[in-house]
């Protein structure tokens, strides 16, 4: 990684160089593209609160929410791009949360076999996780992200002004991923998070800015080392394996499902990796400081059925991310039988 100025950073992923721009307003940043043919892709929420960015500009608005993550959306967006005379020389910019950046990335990797694109994440979750790393995807029925590609955007702009319009549930969603990085990589960050609570960060933009760049750095470093997720990048799935099953069944927000999933993974880690029960208690308490749930009365047999559909499945086992201690995670193939027992403990 090279530091070009205080605000710009070039991140060298194995497949591509990506420009990261921090502490800059979108309006200011977008000026450089004034003579380019840009098409913005956003969702109905962002369009409602930040419509000024799209006024008199080519744009496509997706219905907000996970249900837009489908091949039907890809087809609809591609048809609109054709109508907007989008060519191979056009630039797509996704402005929104994880659904918008996933759809933008996948459309851009397929439209005319690939056109240039960039991201302006507008949620905390997008800024610290979803917009980073080049993964995109759509769901097929209950199968999350079963169709997608790996492709890095050309740039990412982090404009924290967008967070001013973020509803509380979206803040909590983002903090679930922040706590995830702390659990996997960074016990100091965990201590910081345990010391503060959500409103501390919401009220202190300097503190929040530092938090975001710390998470971005963890994600970049992981993806640089293992862009195609054959090794260390798998750790980022901590809490996500059971989360995907639970959010499919109950349609609860991703961050809440991840919080519950992290508690499940920690409980499992007590059994298979010697995590102390104190660590699990500490994790639960911290999650609650960020208004995240630590349990949910889900249907265990149905959740097991969905787990068996996971991309990480391999015959009767699944690669599960377990915690050895706060700040250190590892991948362990676990038989479904052991996972089922833990789910029964946690499903209440």
- Residue 62, φ and ψ in degrees, nearest 5: -90, 150
Which region holds residue 233: left if phi is over 0, alpha if psi is between -120 and 50, else beta? Answer: alpha
d(CA 154, CA 232): 24
Per CB under 8 A, the list member of 150, 205, 224, 328 interacting with a copy of itself is 150
Stretch that binds a copy of itself, among 116-124, 178-186, 307-315, 332-340 (CB under 8 A): 307-315
Stretch that binds a copy of itself, among 84-92, 236-244, 287-295, 336-344 (CB under 8 A): 84-92
Binding mask 5-44 for a copy of itself (x = CB under 8 A): ----------------------------------------
Structure-token pair, residue 242: 């059971």
Nearer to a copy of itself, 167 or 333 (CB): 333
Nearer to a copy of itself, 143 or 328 (CB): 143
Per CB under 8 A, the list member of 12, 44, 67, 87 interacting with a copy of itself is 87
Map tokens 């000024």 to a residue: 52
Nearer to a copy of itself, 87 or 168 (CB): 87
Per CB under 8 A, the list member of 7, 82, 169, 344 interacting with a copy of itself is 82
User: Three-state DSSP class for 131?
Assistant: coil
**Please, what is the minimum distance in Å from the beta carbon of residue 54 to a copy of itself?**
24
205: contact with a copy of itself by CB under 8 A: no
Nearer to a copy of itself, 54 or 150 (CB): 150
- Residue 106, φ and ψ in degrees, nearest 5: -70, -45
Task: Please name which of 104, 148, 156 lies closest in space to residue 129, comparing C-alpha atoms.
Answer: 156
**Please, what is the minimum distance in Å from the beta carbon of residue 304 to a copy of itself?**
16
**Which residues in the 242-301 window bind a copy of itself by CB under 8 A?**
none
**Please, what is the minimum distance in Å from the beta carbon of residue 105 to a copy of itself?**
11
Nearest-5° Cα angle at 70, 296 to 58: 120
140 in Cβ contact with 158 (< 8 Å): no
d(CA 47, CA 173): 20
261 in Cβ contact with 254 (< 8 Å): no
DSSP letter assigned to residue 236: G
Size of the site for a copy of itself (CB under 8 A): 31
Q: Are strands 116-121 and 91-96 parallel, antiparallel or unpaired?
A: parallel
Nearer to a copy of itself, 108 or 323 (CB): 108
Nearer to a copy of itself, 21 or 103 (CB): 103
Per CB under 8 A, the list member of 311, 331, 338, 341 interacting with a copy of itself is 311
For residue 62, the Cα-to-chain-centroid distance in whole angstroms is 18
Nearer to a copy of itself, 282 or 313 (CB): 313
**Which residues in the 88-147 window bind a copy of itself by CB under 8 A?**
88-89, 109-114, 135, 137, 140-141, 143, 145-147
**Please, what is the minimum distance in Å from the beta carbon of residue 175 to a copy of itself?**
27
Which region holds residue 48: left if phi is over 0, alpha if psi is between -120 and 50, else beta? Answer: alpha
48 in Cβ contact with 96 (< 8 Å): no
DSSP letters spanning 262-281: HHHHHHHHHHHH---HHHHH
259 in Cβ contact with 287 (< 8 Å): yes
**Please, what is the minimum distance in Å from the beta carbon of residue 95 to a copy of itself?**
22
Q: Which residues bind a copy of itself (CB under 8 A)?
A: 71, 74-75, 78-79, 82, 87-89, 109-114, 135, 137, 140-141, 143, 145-150, 228, 309, 311, 313-314
């Amino acid at each position: 990684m090279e530091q070009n100025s205080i605000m710009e950073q070039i991140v060298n992923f194995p497949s591509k160089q990506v420009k990261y721009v921090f502490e800059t307003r979108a309006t200011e940043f977008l000026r450089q593209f004034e003579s380019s043919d840009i098409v913005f892709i956003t969702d109905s929420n962002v369009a409602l609160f930040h419509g000024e960015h799209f006024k008199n500009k080519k744009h496509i608005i997706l219905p907000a929410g996970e249900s837009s993550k489908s091949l039907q959306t890809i087809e609809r967006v591609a048809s609109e791009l054709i109508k907007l005379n989008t060519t191979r020389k056009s630039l797509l910019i996704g402005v929104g949360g994880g659904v918008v950046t996933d759809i933008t990335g996948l459309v851009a990797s397929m439209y005319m076999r690939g056109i240039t694109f960039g991201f302006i994440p507008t949620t905390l979750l997008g800024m610290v996780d979803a917009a980073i790393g080049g993964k995109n995807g759509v769901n097929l029925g209950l199968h999350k992200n079963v169709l997608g590609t790996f492709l890095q955007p050309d740039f990412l702009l982090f404009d924290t002004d967008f967070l001013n319009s973020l509803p509380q549930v979206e803040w909590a969603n983002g903090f679930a991923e922040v706590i995830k990085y702390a659990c996997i990589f960074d016990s100091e960050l965990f201590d910081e998070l345990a010391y503060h609570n959500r409103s501390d960060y919401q009220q202190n933009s300097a503190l929040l800015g530092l938090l975001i760049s710390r998470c971005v750095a963890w994600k970049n470093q992981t993806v640089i080392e293992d862009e195609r997720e054959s090794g260390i990048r798998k750790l980022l799935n901590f809490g996500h394996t059971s989360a995907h099953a639970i959010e499919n069944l109950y349609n609860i927000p991703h961050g809440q499902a991840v919080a519950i999933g992290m508690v499940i993974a920690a409980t499992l880690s007590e059994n298979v990796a010697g995590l102390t029960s104190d660590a699990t208690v500490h994790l639960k308490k911290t999650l609650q400081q960020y208004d995240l749930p630590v349990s949910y009365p889900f249907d265990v047999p149905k959740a097991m059925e969905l787990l068996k559909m996971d991309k990480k499945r391999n015959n009767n086992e699944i690669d599960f991310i377990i915690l050895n201690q706060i700040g250190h995670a590892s991948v362990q193939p676990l038989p479904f039988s052991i996972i089922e027992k833990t789910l029964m403990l946690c499903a209440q």
